[in-house]
Structure 1
Amino acid sequence: MFENLTERLSKTLKDISGRGRLTEDNIKDTLREVRMALLEADVALPVVREFISQVKNRAVGTEVSKSLNPGQVFIKIVQSELESVMGQVNESLDLSAQPPAVVLMAGLQGAGKTTSVGKLAALLKQRDKKKVLVVSADVYRPAAIKQLETLASEVDVGFYPSSIEQKPIDIVTGAIEFAKKQFFDVLLVDTAGRLHVDGDMMEEIQALHKAITPVETLFVVDAMTGQDAANTAKAFNEALPLTGVILTKADGDARGGAALSVRHITGKPIKFLGMGEKLDALEPFHPERVASRILGMGDVLSLIEEVERKVDKEKAQKLAKKVQKGKGFDLQDFKEQLEQMRNMGGMMSLMDKMPGMGNMSAQVKDKANDKSFNQMEAIINSMTAVERAKPEVIKGSRKRRIAAGSGTQIQDVNRMLKQFTQMQKMMKKMSGGGMKKMMRNMKGMMPPGGPGGMGGMFPPR
């Protein structure tokens, strides 16, 4: 997400360094470039106008202290305004109602509403330890009811059955009664979607909202639709008292216009980002972290949280003990590390959150893509247990067999073995720290003075 915007802004903001003071003249060209970058990212025009105006007002006349250069000061202002546009801080769900707390999900057909119900149920169960019940009030699409039942089973949450013969209000009031009797904490309600905003649909969902008075009404919208996402959210917000937005398919949106437009146009916060198809691919939306990512400065906090949540700690400790005892790091361990990386969204997701990666060339990024990781896994899968435990035995004829078995070339096998050797050396140096030590090193990538350093580029949480 934001690749295009990050690239444009990184180039633009480099050009302003070396000034002793920010003036209207020396930021004019930079502001023009920032404006163009935002428009190309499909950010809504009123949002761009206000953003540029705010940045200009704050930047002109700003004295630059000796410890910083004008580029850093300007970036700090741009980052602060990006956060302001997106809402300053993460706004979590308010579930402090008499159980069950009812959450109503609204949106257009194809936005990923039903999948988002499943993802949100998984998140509330795993992170917040809530007992969750889901129900489908989509009586127009029998497949939607079946889909939600399947998702509920996959994430192991309660499912309240419904059918197309019932009325949406009857379905949900029945689910609320059931949730009360079975002591569920949260009830997530999936509603019918349409291909466009129409009067009948709005009347139906308004009547449902009035009957069940949910504590949260979330609008689910596809990030790929850019500023149209913000305009659709505005139409829904005029009909329903929305409390927040879930932006889906954000991982496929290289522009990021929706994330920068929704809050300004609707006045409602983005609460979650859908970052992939897996049922754990829903992230709380942190404006300060997203602003940092847009400016190519990474998102170390989210990365650390992701590692804490998704890395198999038992395997990590086992590996740490193994390396500590001097038993070495073999190809089976290497394969497990690749699998852990895939669990965290793959290499591109990790690189997106690493500081400085925004300034990497496309060529370098292309070499470190997930395709090469899949190829390495295929090569290791073609090896025998002996070869994985003792990579030094892999010579000519074995290499030919491994290449043939994995559908690769001998040079691919050689490249993978070279990368493994580098990883092995690194693990030796770290001996005993495993993933945790790696993450401590990552924390060290932050500027001196912790989160507040570098002119506040990494704002405190």
Structure 2
Amino acid sequence: MLDNLTQRLSGVIKNLRGQARLTESNIQDALREVRMALLEADVALPVVKEFAAQVKEAALGHEVIGNLNPGQAFIGVVHRELTRLMGEHNDALNLTTTPPAVILMAGLQGAGKTTTCGKLAKLLHDQHKKKILLVSCDIYRPAAIEQLRTLATQLGIDFFASDISQKPQDIALAALDFARKHHHDVLIVDTAGRLAIDEAMMAEIQQLHATLKPIETLFVVDAMTGQDAVNTARAFGEALPLTGIVLTKMDGDSRGGAALSVRHVTGRPIKFIGVSEKPNGLEAFHPERMASRILGMGDVLSLLEEAQRGVDHGEAEKLAKKMQAGKGFDLNDFKMQFVQMRKMGGMSALMDKLPAQLSQAAADSKVDDKSINRLEGIINSMTPQERSHPELIKAQRKKRIADGAGVKVMHVNQLLNQFEQTQKMMKMFSKGGGMAKMMRSMAGKLPGMR
């Protein structure tokens, strides 16, 4: 996510190291690089100009105090200004109304509106325990209604049936009546998109808005469209009383500067970002956390929240007991770590939230979703006895396991070596002073650790 911008800004920080203080001269050089980085990331020019002016004013003459070097001081200033630019805090959905709370989804065709309806329904159901009803008023795009129906079925969300012979307003009113009678907390309404903004589309969605009187009107926009995303958001904002924006496909492009522009240009908060194609690939947008990601500082808070939601607490408790006992950690437990990681969005989602140094260390070690799937496949090729007693796995067994998993024997050896290292770490952790010993054993293996 915004990888190029992160790399460029890291270069700016390095150039400031060794300076005694932030001066007009070195700030000017740094800001030139920042401006170029932002423009390359597709941030709108007026936004870049204002941002640079704010950073300059905040940083000029900023004394380097304590252990902060000029690079670190500049990071602090840029972080604060990036956060301010993107909205300072998360604007949560407002669902405080007599049920059902209606959420109207608007946007162009291809922005990911229908899949976002499904992701938002899952998020509200799983995290907020809401009873959700999904409905499609898109009578123009082939199979649009069927796409939402399929999504609803996969996610276990209620769906209100409609067809292309009906008028959008009639569908909306019928769905609203159904939601009231069946005690749904939230009604999410998918609307028709077009390939470009046109008067007919705007008139139709304005009528839908007047009919439903939604408490939330969210504009869904593809972050990969760059400057067009901002222009389209502005046009929808003029036609509808938008309450927020959802930026999709933030994982699909290293530029994604719309995240920095759209709040400033439209005056509407970014409420969610789409970070993967998976059903759980929708995250609440936190400006301060996004600023941290952009500056290579990671997003540990979001990572902890994902862990809290995704981890099987029963399995975690079992593992904790084994660690305390210092024995019993086997290949079944090793495999469970991969399963838990997948629940948290996979390795790519994890790396996106890690600080840049740790993320790079994982990348350098070639740990990715593909390699983790291969490791899991190898363990699945073992017998229950072999998983519980890895010491039984010798030459002949390795050959059979490799053939069963469709890999080479060297891959089986690599897995067993990784397992042994993890097992040693677990034993070290179980003993007195284990954490300190474990950290010392890792020194030099990860950047910045001594």
Moved more, 319-328 or 122-131: 319-328
State the 1:231 CA deviation.
1.5
Distance 1:50 1:394 in 2: 63
Which residue identity is paired with 1:415? Q
How many residues are treated as equivalent by the alignment? Answer: 433
Residue 362 of structure 1 deviates from its aligned partner by 8.9
1:3 counterpart = 2:19: no
Query: SS at the partner of 1:82?
Result: helix
User: What is the CA–CA distance in structure 2 between the aligned matches of 1:149 and 1:427, rounded to whole Å?
Assistant: 46
CA apart distance, 1:270: 0.8
Regions of 4+ moved over 6 Å:
none
Listed as ranges, the matches of 1:43-192 within 5 Å are: 43-192=43-192
Q: Which amino acid aligns with 1:188?
A: I
Question: TM-score of the superposition, structure 2-length normalised?
Answer: 0.92
Map of 1:424 onto structure 2: 423
Q: CA deviation at 1:431?
A: 4.1
1:325 Cα deviation after fit: 4.0
Q: What secondary structure does 2:355 align onto?
A: coil
CA contact (8 A) 2:246 2:270 kept: yes
Please identify, of 262-271 and 320-329, the stretch whose mean Cα deviation from structure 2 is larger.
320-329
**Distance across 2 between alignment mates of 1:416 and 1:359:** 21
Task: Name the counterpart of 1:454.
Answer: none
1:299-350: CA deviation from partner (whole Å, max 9, x where unpaired): 1110111000001111211222344344421111111111111121111211
C-alpha separation in 1, matches of 2:163 and 2:363:
52
Secondary structure, counterpart of 1:236 in structure 2: helix
1:377 alignment partner AA: E
**Alpha-carbon distance change, 332 to 42 in structure 1, aligned in 2, over 3 angstroms:** same
Equivalents in 1 of 2:359, 2:188: separation in Å? 41
Paired letter, 2:403: A
Alpha carbons of 1:393 and 1:340: their partners in 2 closer, same or farther (altered >3 Å)? same
Cα distance, 1:174 vs structure 2: 1.4
Tell me, in whole angstroms, the C-alpha distance in 2 between the residues paired with 1:37 and 1:358: 23
- Is the contact between residue 296 and residue 359 of structure 1 (CA under 8 Å) also seen in structure 2? no
Distance 2:430 2:244 in 1: 46
**Correspondence for 1:377:** 376
Separation in 2, partners of 1:213, 1:429: 60
Deviation (angstroms), 1:396: 1.8
Query: How much identity, in percent, do the aligned residues show?
Result: 63
Shift of residue 156, structure 1, vs aligned partner: 2.3
Deviations 1:214-238 (A, max 9, x none): 1111011112222221221111111
Determine if the alignment matches structure 1 residue 415 to structure 2 residue 420. no
SS at match of 1:252: coil
Structure 1 residues 399, 316: closer, same or farther in 2, change over 3 A?
same
- Structure 1: 5+ residue stretches without partners: 442-461
**Pairing 1:309–2:278 present:** no
Question: Is residue 391 from structure 1 mapped to residue 390 from structure 2 by the alignment?
Answer: yes
Summarize the Cα distance change of 1:122–1:363 in structure 2 as closer, same or farther, 3 Å threshold.
closer
Q: Greater CA deviation, 296-305 or 54-63?
A: 54-63
1:401 to partner: Cα distance: 2.1
Say if 1:298 and 1:358, in contact at 8 Å, map to a contact too.
no
| Structure 1 residues 144 and 132, CA gap change in structure 2 (3 angstroms) | same
Q: Is the 8 A contact 2:102 2:188 kept in 1?
A: yes
Q: Give deviations 1:74-106, integer Å, cap 9, x for gaps.
A: 100100111111110000011111211111000
Answer yes or no: is the 8 Å Cα contact 2:138–2:168 preserved in 1.
Answer: yes
Change (3 A) 1:412 1:2: same
Equivalence for 2:332: 332
Counterparts of 2:101 and 2:64, CA distance in 1: 50
CA contact (8 A) 1:38 1:257 kept: yes
2:262 aligned partner, one-letter code:
V
Greater CA drift, 352-361 or 301-310: 352-361
Secondary structure of 2:174's match?
Answer: helix
Coordinate RMSD, CA, aligned: 1.9
CA deviation after TM superposition for structure 1 residue 391, in Å: 1.2
Give 1:240 shift: 1.1
Looking at structure 2, the residues matched to 359 and 80 of structure 1 have their Cα atoms a distance apart, in angstroms, of 23
Map Cα deviations across residues 238-287 of structure 1 (whole Å, 9 max, x no partner): 11111111111112222221211111121111100111122111110000
* 1:381 to 1:359, Cα distance in 2 relative to 1, 3 A: closer
Structure 2 Cα separation of the partners of residues 64 and 243 of structure 1: 41
For the residues of structure 1 that align with 2:358 and 2:272, how far apart are their CA atoms?
22
Q: How far apart, CA to CA, are the structure 1 residues paired with 2:334 and 2:87? A: 41
8 Å CA contact 2:381–2:404 kept in 1: the answer is yes
Q: Aligned equivalents of 1:327 and 1:56: distance in 2?
A: 57
Query: Cα deviations across residues 81-136 of structure 1 (Å, max 9, x unaligned)?
Result: 11111110000011111211111000111111111111111111111121211111
Task: Check whether the contact 2:326–2:426 (CA below 8 A) recurs between aligned residues.
Answer: no
What is the alpha-carbon distance in structure 1 between the residues aligned to residue 323 and residue 42 of structure 2? 49
Q: How does 1:241-280 map to 2 (within 5 A)?
A: 241-280=241-280
Task: Report the counterpart of residue 355 of structure 2 in structure 1.
Answer: 355
Query: Is the CA contact 1:320–1:431 (under 8 Å) kept in the aligned structure 2?
Result: no
Match of 2:446 in 1: none
What secondary structure sits across from 2:128 in the alignment? coil
- Residues 257, 199 of structure 1: alpha-carbon distance in 2 compared, 3 angstrom cutoff: same
Contact 2:226 2:256 in 1 (8 A): yes
Deviation at 1:353, TM superposition (A): 1.4
**TM-aligned CA deviation for residue 71 of structure 1:** 1.3
Structure 1 distance, partners of 2:233, 2:353, is 28
Quote the Cα distance in structure 2 between the aligned partners of 1:359 and 1:116.
28
Equivalent pair of 2:297/2:354 in contact (CA under 8 Å): yes
